[in-house]
């Protein structure tokens, strides 16, 4: 499974990838983007099975990345991993088509709970 991890923090990208491995996602391959613009450019060539994105990023926010993908007809499995946790933000994510929402700080269990039903 190829997962694109999008976050402007290199430290957080490393932690997310480590946590994905700990959560036991099988045949995991990860690729990384620094923001929504980079991610959008990578999606066509890399064809990830899932995208895990931060919310707040320079250049293009995660929600705008999701909206751009959906507007272009791409229905890749998309979820947020973010410190944003207000009901308003969650609703905006769901309305735009996000399948899961993981709040930082998180544990491997949170990744398992969010991803397992979607990967079964």
9 vs 29 by CB, closer to other proteins? 9
By CB under 8 A, tell whether 106 contacts other proteins. Answer: yes
Kindly state whether residue 113 participates in binding other proteins, applying the rule CB under 8 A. no
49 or 112: CB nearest other proteins: 112
| Structure tokens belonging to residue 97 | 């088509």
34 is a contact residue toward other proteins (CB under 8 A): no
Q: Which of 1, 2, 15, 76 binds other proteins (CB under 8 A)?
A: 15
- Of 25-33, 52-60, 64-72, 93-101: span binding other proteins (CB under 8 A): 52-60
Burial of 99 (0-12, 13-18, 19+ CB in 10 A): middle
By the rule CB under 8 A, 84 interacts with other proteins? yes
* CA 59-63-64 angle, 5° bins: 50
Measured from the CB of residue 98, what is the shortest distance to other proteins in angstroms? 16
Following CA atoms 80, 66, 2, 57 in sequence, which dihedral angle do they give, to the nearest 10 degrees?
-60
Instruction: Output the DSSP codes for 27-73.
Output: T-EEEEESSHHHHHHHHHHH--SEEEE-SS-SSS-HHHHHHHHHHTT
Q: Rule CB under 8 A: which residues touch other proteins? A: 8-12, 14-15, 18, 56-58, 82-86, 88, 103-107
């Amino acid at each position: 499974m190829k997962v694109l991890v999008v976050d402007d923090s290199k430290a957080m990208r490393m932690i997310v990838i480590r946590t994905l491995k700990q959560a036991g996602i099988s045949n995991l391959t990860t690729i990384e983007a620094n923001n929504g613009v980079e991610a959008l450019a990578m999606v066509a060539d890399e064809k990830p099975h899932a995208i895990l994105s931060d919310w707040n990023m320079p250049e293009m926010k995660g929600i705008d990345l999701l909206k751009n993908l959906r507007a272009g007809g791409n229905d890749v499995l998309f979820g947020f991993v973010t410190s944003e946790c207000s009901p308003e933000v969650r609703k905006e994510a769901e309305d735009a088509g996000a399948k899961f929402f993981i709040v930082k700080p998180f544990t491997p269990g949170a990744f398992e709970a969010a991803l397992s039903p979607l990967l079964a």
